[in-house]
Amino acid sequence: MVAPLTVGIAGLGTVGAETVRLIEANASQLAVRCGRGVRVVAVTARSKAKKRGLDLRGVRWAKDPLALATDPEIECFVELMGGDGEPARAAIEAALGAGKSVVTANKALIAKHGLRLAKLAERHGGALNFEAAVGAAIPIVKTLREGLAGTAVDRVYGILNGTCNYILTRMEQEGLSFAECLKDAQRLGYAEANPSFDVDGHDTAQKLSILASLAFGTEVAQRAVYVEGISSITPQDLRAAEELGYRIKLLGVAVRTKTGIEQRVHPTMVPRASSVAQVMGVTNAVTIDGAGIAPITLVGPGAGGAATASAVVADIADVARGLRALPFGRPADRLKPTKKAPMERHEGGYYIRLMARDLAGTAATIATRLAERGISLESIVQRHPDRASDHGISTRPSSPVPVILITYATSEDAMRGALQAVQRDKVISGRPQVIRIEKN
């Protein structure tokens, strides 16, 4: 009989504790599926006295993560502490350097040090598995790394942050402001006391950098991702999106272009009929476009103890089976350097909301500035009680009038230049609201 895989777990928070429970509850099933058992033999955490509802009798308590990582009895080191620095980094490096396999849910560490860790794993023969780092229970890492190994991926994009998707869903369905929804999300535990990492798009950017590496064979580089958050989105934008046949989502998008791999995170208009537009609340979704295949969309819980632990245990099971996939699907020294793609080169459609001054000639001025940059309009929407003149903009001085433009595909540079010219003409008040449109 093959001896069980011996596992050491560093970090017994929500995910760590649930991982221990899952391994115990599914012990017989894991043994059948893997051809050998899986046994947690040692753990470590900041507090040994904390009540976790776990039966850890017979499980050794290591003094610290580094001691656990180098424990000769441990074959698979599971890091669930989080953070892109110490002690997680040193412990993982020590485990890989000793030839052990590592499983982690640490997106921050993989996004920052993934290339170095992958080289260590390849050099010393252990696995480096991180399915839980992106999308929790959604098996997107294995899909890109293994399931689509024979497919040239053109684009991968999706909803990668449940907090932002929850906020946008509530704003749309209940007409609430961003501030109101954020406060409620914090009360319910979906958002942190300091929510900037989520709502400013940085969490999504970390995950996208990992997906881009898997999809396109680039080095993991969060610095190569253009990032915008959702705090500027208003109920007015969401209502306009609905009327125009769109829904607003915070998307992470990595796409192959003529000038390289474009990686961006920003609020996005998506067609209401698209798969990703149907994903509401805290749920995540990832769509893959590849040569010769119809788009593939994976949907599921992107966070939470049970969902994340399920991915952790699946990675442990691969180690027990003896599977050793290259961490990023290619040898680490074959991953291509990547740099931030200038957003000025981005091409696509745009939603633009302007507060136009209610004066004669305003509409003509806006249209002229757009035309000078070669920008064509797919639609224009204006709400005003007096539609007397100048293509619907009244000659009666009053408060600014909301005007919504949907452009055909154009460059970011052209769009920004046209709006700067409109602002210089002083025919609008405030800053224009601009949201990119992502077609199916």
Active site amino acids: 207
Tell me which amino acid residue 14 is: T
Q: Residue 366 to residues 327, 371, 382, 415, 432: CA-CA distances in angstroms? A: 51, 9, 13, 12, 12
Contacts of 183 (CB under 8 A, 6+ apart): none
By C-alpha distance, which of 323, 311, 320 is closest to 37? 320
Q: Would you state the structure tokens that stand for residue 111, as one six-digit string? A: 């996004």
Main-chain dihedrals φ then ψ at residue 178, nearest 5 degrees:
-60, -45
Cis peptide before 327 (omega within 30 of 0): no
Report d(CA 178, CA 200) in Å as an integer: 12
Report d(CA 268, CA 266) in Å as an integer: 6
Instruction: Answer left, alpha or beta for residue 175, where phi above 0 means left and psi between -120 and 50 means alpha.
Output: left
By C-alpha distance, which of 353, 416, 409 is closest to 378? 409
By C-alpha distance, which of 386, 376, 367 is closest to 410? 376
**What DSSP string runs through 213-262?**
HHHH-BPP-GGG-EE--STT--HHHHHHHHHTTEEEEEEEEEEEETTEEE
Report d(CA 153, CA 39) in Å as an integer: 37
Residue bearing tokens 């990832």: 286
For 188-220, letters b (16+ CB in 10 Å) and e give: eebbeeebebbbbbbbbbbbbbbbbbbbbbbbb
Do residues 16 and 52 touch, judged by C-beta distance below 8 A?
no
* H/E run at residue 331: none
Instruction: Answer left, alpha or beta for residue 104, where phi above 0 means left and psi between -120 and 50 means alpha.
Output: beta
> What's the sign of the alpha-carbon dihedral 324, 329, 331, 333?
negative
